[in-house]
Amino acid sequence: MSYMDGFVIPVPKGNRERYRELAAFAAPIFIEYGALRVVECWGNDIKPGKVNDFRTAVIAQEDEEVVFSWIEWPDKATRDAGAEKVMKDERMQPKEGEDMPFIGARLIYGGFEVLVDESA
């Protein structure tokens, strides 16, 4: 069964297009190294929770929105090998003086074993 990497990240609202461009640039590189699917979602209906929610989980500020993303891999071994190659790929290295369009220090991510996968 598939293996998933999941991400929740705060992005300044003014950086939406820069983030989309970066995500669109990176997605084919992940696929080149074995990912089956890359999905990036811009939050537009995140309700405040009574204890926690997506915004408080990443300490999103008023001028930031939350991005929810996942990368689907065929299995964990492919993910481990592919993720290592992506991180070493020179296309993924930040350019001199280039700021990232997101707040990396508040990124939440992890790898997940799929328990249920249903489709219509």
| pLDDT tens-digit readout, 28-77 | 999 999 999 999 999 999 998 999 999 999 999 999 999 999 999 999 99
**Does residue 76 belong to any structural domain of this protein?**
no
Provide the residue range defining the domain that includes 26.
Answer: 3-71+82-92
- Residue indicated by tokens 């996942």: 70
Pairwise CA distance, residues 58 & 28, whole Å: 26
**Does residue 116 belong to any structural domain of this protein?**
no
Pairwise CA distance, residues 64 & 58, whole Å: 10
Average of per-residue pLDDT across 23-32: 98
Angle of the 76-88 helix axis to the 16-32 helix axis, nearest 10: 120
| pLDDT tens-digit readout, 75-84 | 999 999 999 9
Which CATH number goes with the domain that contains 59?
3.30.70.100
Our count of domains for the chain comes to 1
